[in-house]
Amino acid sequence: MNAASELFNKNGLTATGVDTIIERSGVAKMTFYNTYGSKEELIAEYFTGQDEAALGLLRQFTEKPGLSPRQKLLAVFDAFEAWFTEPAFLGCPFINGYAETKGSPRSRPHRNVIRHFEQLREFLLEIAREIHPGKADRIVGGMMLLMSGAIVTQEVAPQSKPLAAARDMLKSLLKEIASG
């Protein structure tokens, strides 16, 4: 799975062939197919692992003792900062994966991508409800935009400091909601 993950992150799902994965991983073709059955199943498992890692990283930063709900939401961008500085950072596998799987909405990989965004949204909603139950959807809608925008901007224009901008915009949104 490590070899496949690295190749999917670097080259994309479609551009990465099974033969390349087998060669990089050093497993026999029979072992690959006995383990995963198909490239589609491998991709689905890849997204399951990426989902666990992503939500685990967010929890690591947001579940620190003593953080207020507001600080927890801002800590999401601290988690992103840690992620963005990893040498292996090549963008979001779910944003990239959605683009590659949207033509197959019933496929397991596509459903796993959608499930990730649903779980991420629910994770954020739990925190946002602590701030303002009636406006949690608005807070999370803004967060999702800021998060996606920060990820893409980090890839194409990191000099614009997307995390600082996202943090400032989130602070403004939370201030507006608190005052209104």
Segment 86-113, tens digit of pLDDT: 988 899 999 999 999 999 999 999 999 9
**Residue found by looking up tokens 């009636």 in the block:** 134
User: Does pLDDT of 19 surpass 80?
Assistant: yes
Distance CA 112, CA 98 (A): 10
pLDDT category of residue 149 using cuts at 50, 70 and 90: very high
User: How confident is the prediction for the chain on average, in pLDDT?
Assistant: 94
Measuring CA to CA, which residue among 119, 136, 118 is closest to residue 174?
136
Domains and CATH numbers, the chain: 40-179 (1.10.357.10)
Look at residue 95 in the predicted model and tell me its pLDDT: 95
**157 pLDDT more than 80:** yes
Helices (H), the chain: 2-11, 18-25, 29-36, 39-62, 69-84, 93-101, 108-131, 136-156, 162-179
pLDDT of 180 above 80: no
